[in-house]
Amino acid sequence: MNEYYDAIIVGTGAAGLYCALNLPSRMKVLMITKQQADQSDSFLAQGGICMLRGEEDYDNYFEDTMRAGHYENNKKAVDLMIRSSNSIIRDLIRHNVTFERDANGELAFTREGAHSQPRILFYEDVTGKQITQTLLSEAQTRDNIEICEYMTMVDLIAKDNICGGVIIMDEKNNVYPVRSPYVVLACGGLGGLYKNSTNFPHIAGDGLGIAMKHQVVLEHLDYVQIHPTTLYSHKPGRRFLISESVRGEGALLYDKNGQRFTEELQPRDLLSQAIFAQMEKDDTEFVWEDMRPLGEETILKHFPNIFHRCMEEGFDPCKELIPVVPAQHYFMGGIQADLGSRTSMKGLYACGETSCNGVHGKNRLASNSLLESLVFARRVADDIIFAGKPEKCPVNTIDTSMYEDRDAILDGYHKMVWNEIERMKRA
């Protein structure tokens, strides 16, 4: 790791990788991640990625996204995301990303909750892994991209609202100031702050806390999405997601008496509320999901990962009901970013789940996350390429003695974020 790079990207999920791959080879790019490079939430995305299916689908797709977001979405951001979807998919295929195809070799589409029609591309039930691993593998071959694992951003180098790099610490508390005129925060959400979450526990809102410290504008930190169906388990740790696509393909939800109690394809927040209400009514810790209507062939072909995980927990989804419960899943708020993914600090960008550009409003529509991450990651790269000469951060020396205990520093940031979430809930 050097002391200077043309760009620094914090995070190795879909957003960070796609941003790096869209920067020119003449730029020396540093990517850092707290764990292994493949330990990002992008790898966990099961359902798929949305794509506009012709001009006749535009109004419906736009309305589906707005309705799910309770009409708090930024309409310009929604339009940009939808209009960019076809070029993003073409580019992913050019990068050798594989999607399921029908008997004629055409792209196959599935449907998820709150979508008016099938418009979701997928690869089995590991679409996020298929996309992100493909991008990671390519990034690892690029001579201009350096990926450093087990490195944690603990601060920004910034003064006069100009960003000039990051402060990084390794697991042994060694401190590394690294300078760059462009810093991209693509460090994910905040699921690690919650007891029950589908996210990796180390992704806990560090970037949000660091942004707060430097008075970078954030918004809607209380917009936290609960996914309605995760596999119920007594075991501690990350909750396993039962994809929205399962219900999109016909799975049903039952109460303790084996009776349907709600519409399975509602937006996630409304369905989660219905499940919580039914659990309280039945005095249970879960409800039942029935995958049997899909048929064994569809379950084994479309959802092999879900099938094997259910079997590991002692449930055969081809033959019996599986217990499901809502859990924290996604973060719609974050660091305020414009349509170029620029934040309120010069030289600092944010994309992916850590950003808030208004696409999702108050509640994200299923399978818009990967698309949104890629669209606005490419916007970062475009802005860096065409923005002109950056302003120079006036920080000449760094006092590294103030960074002694990485875990203690991160714990402080996590408390800042959690307290702000609670404050916003009370407001």
In sequence order, what DSSP letters do the residues of 123-186 get, joined into one string?
STT-HHHHHHHHHHHHHTT-TTEEEESSEEEEEEEEETTEEEEEEEEETT--EEEEE-S-EEE-
Contact 367, 241 (CB under 8 A): no
Contact 180, 6 (CB under 8 A): yes
What confidence tier does 236 reach under pLDDT thresholds 50, 70, 90? confident
Q: What percent of the chain has pLDDT over 90?
A: 95
Contact 19, 351 (CB under 8 A): yes
Contact 406, 171 (CB under 8 A): yes
| Average pLDDT value for residue range 54-79 | 97
Check 53, 268, 378, 406 and give the catalytic one. Answer: 268
- The whole-number pLDDT of residue 151 equals 98
Q: How many CB atoms lie within 10 A of CB 84?
A: 19
Asked if 111 is an active-site residue, the reply is no
Tell me the pLDDT tens digit for each residue of 7-45: 999 999 999 999 999 999 999 999 999 999 999 999 999
What confidence tier does 235 reach under pLDDT thresholds 50, 70, 90? confident
Query: Residue 125 is part of which domain span?
Result: 7-223+332-426
Looking at the structure, do residues 215 and 350 belong to the same domain, yes or no? yes
Helix (H/G/I), strand (E/B), else coil: 57: helix
Looking at the structure, do residues 252 and 116 belong to the same domain, yes or no? no
The helix (run of H) or strand (run of E) holding residue 280 is: helix 268-282
**Which residue, of 282, 300, 328, is where some domain finishes?**
328
CB-count exposure of residue 6 (10 Å: 0-12, 13-18, 19+): middle
pLDDT score of 389 more than 90: no
Helix (H/G/I), strand (E/B), else coil: 107: strand
Residue type, 326: P
- The whole-number pLDDT of residue 24 equals 97
What confidence tier does 355 reach under pLDDT thresholds 50, 70, 90? very high
Tell me the pLDDT tens digit for each residue of 318-333: 999 999 999 999 999 9
Looking at the structure, do residues 317 and 351 belong to the same domain, yes or no? no
Residue 284 lies in a domain: yes
Looking at the structure, do residues 285 and 380 belong to the same domain, yes or no? no
Domain CATH code at residue 234: 3.90.700.10
Is this model's pTM higher than 0.85 or not? yes
Tell me the pLDDT tens digit for each residue of 276-320: 999 999 999 999 999 999 999 999 999 999 999 999 999 999 999
CA distance between the termini of the chain: 44
Residue 345 lies in a domain: yes
Residue 101 lies in a domain: yes
What confidence tier does 131 reach under pLDDT thresholds 50, 70, 90? very high
Domain CATH code at residue 412: 3.50.50.60
Distance from chain centroid for Cα 218: 17
**Which residue, of 271, 298, 328, is where some domain finishes?**
328
Tell me the pLDDT tens digit for each residue of 136-161: 999 999 999 999 999 999 999 999 99
Residue 1 lies in a domain: no
Looking at the structure, do residues 214 and 130 belong to the same domain, yes or no? yes
Residue 82 lies in a domain: yes
Domain count, the chain: 2
- The whole-number pLDDT of residue 212 equals 98
Tell me the pLDDT tens digit for each residue of 91-120: 999 999 999 999 999 999 999 989 999 999
Q: Which residues contact 192 (CB under 8 A, 6 or more apart)?
A: 199, 200, 201, 202, 203, 204, 205, 414
- The whole-number pLDDT of residue 427 equals 79
How far is residue 13 from each of residues 44, 92, 96, 372, 373, measured CA to CA in Å? 10, 15, 17, 13, 9
Contact 377, 370 (CB under 8 A): no
Q: Identify which has the larger pLDDT, 28 or 234.
A: 28
Looking at the structure, do residues 87 and 121 belong to the same domain, yes or no? yes
